[in-house]
Amino acid sequence: MTKHASYSKGEKYNSLSKKEGFRSRAAYKLIQIQKQNKIIKVGDKVLDIGSSPGGWSQVVSNILGDSGSIIAIDVLPMKKIKNVNFFQIDLKDIHKINLNKVSIVLSDIAPNISGVSIIDTENMKSLLEIEISIVDNFLKIGGKYLCKCFEGDSMNFLKNELKNRFRKIKRIKPDASRSTSKECYILGIDKL
C-alpha cells in the first residue's frame, strides 16, 4: 500500500469515528480485533490502560452494557463514559488505586515518542514491564491480555515475556492500524 493510501485509510476511520460517535479512530482497531477474536464477553471485568480519549472504553462499554465492570486509566483526562470507572493516573502509580482481579487487561498505551530509537524502545519496555506485573498480580487465570507494541525490540520483548504466561499468543495488525506504522498488538489468550 502506498503512503497516500495508508493516510486515506486513516482519514476514513477518522470520519467514521465522527459519524458513529466514537472518540477516537483507535476504537476501530478494537472493534476489528473483537470481531475476529471475540476477546470481550458479557460479564467481563476489564482494565483499559492508556484509555483517553476513550474510544476503547466506549467499545467495551457497548459490549458489556450493565454487566461486568470497566476500570480505565490514563495520565490525561477522559470525559465520562457509561459504566466506566476512570482514574487519571500515571501507569507507574497504578498501585495507588484499589484494583481487584480482572478477566481482561487491554492496553493501547503509547509513550511520547522522542525519535531516538534506543530511548523510545526503553520507554516502551518500562511501560510493558509494569503491565506484565499487572498481568501477574491482577489478571485472573484463564484471562486475556491485549497489548499494543511496535515491531522490533518491544514486540520481541513482549512475546518473550508472554510465551510462558499464556497458553497461546498471537500477533494482530488490525486494518484500522496504519500499514506504514510499526504498531501492532499482541494478544495473550488463557493466562496460565
Ligand X SMILES: C[S@@+](CC[C@H](N)C(=O)[O-])C[C@H]1O[C@@H](n2cnc3c(N)ncnc32)[C@H](O)[C@@H]1O
Catalytic residues: 148
Region near ligand X per CB under 6 A, out of 2-10, 19-27, 32-40, 62-70: 19-27
* CA 122/CA 16 separation, integer angstroms: 34
Q: How far is the CB of 26 from ligand X (least distance, A)?
A: 3
Q: How far is CA 167 from CA 31, 37, 145, in A?
A: 23, 15, 12
Strand spans (E) along 50-181 = 69-74, 84-88, 102-107, 139-150, 166-172
What is the per-residue binding string for ligand X in 45-84, x denoting contact by CB under 6 A?
Answer: -----xxxxxxx----------------xxxx--------
Residue from 111, 170, 173, 180 touching ligand X (CB under 6 A): that is: 111
With 0-12 CB in 10 A as exposed, 13-18 as middle and 19+ as buried, what is 16? middle
Q: How far is the CB of 72 from ligand X (least distance, A)?
A: 9
Point out which residues bind ligand X (CB under 6 A): 23-24, 26-27, 50-56, 73-76, 90-91, 108-111
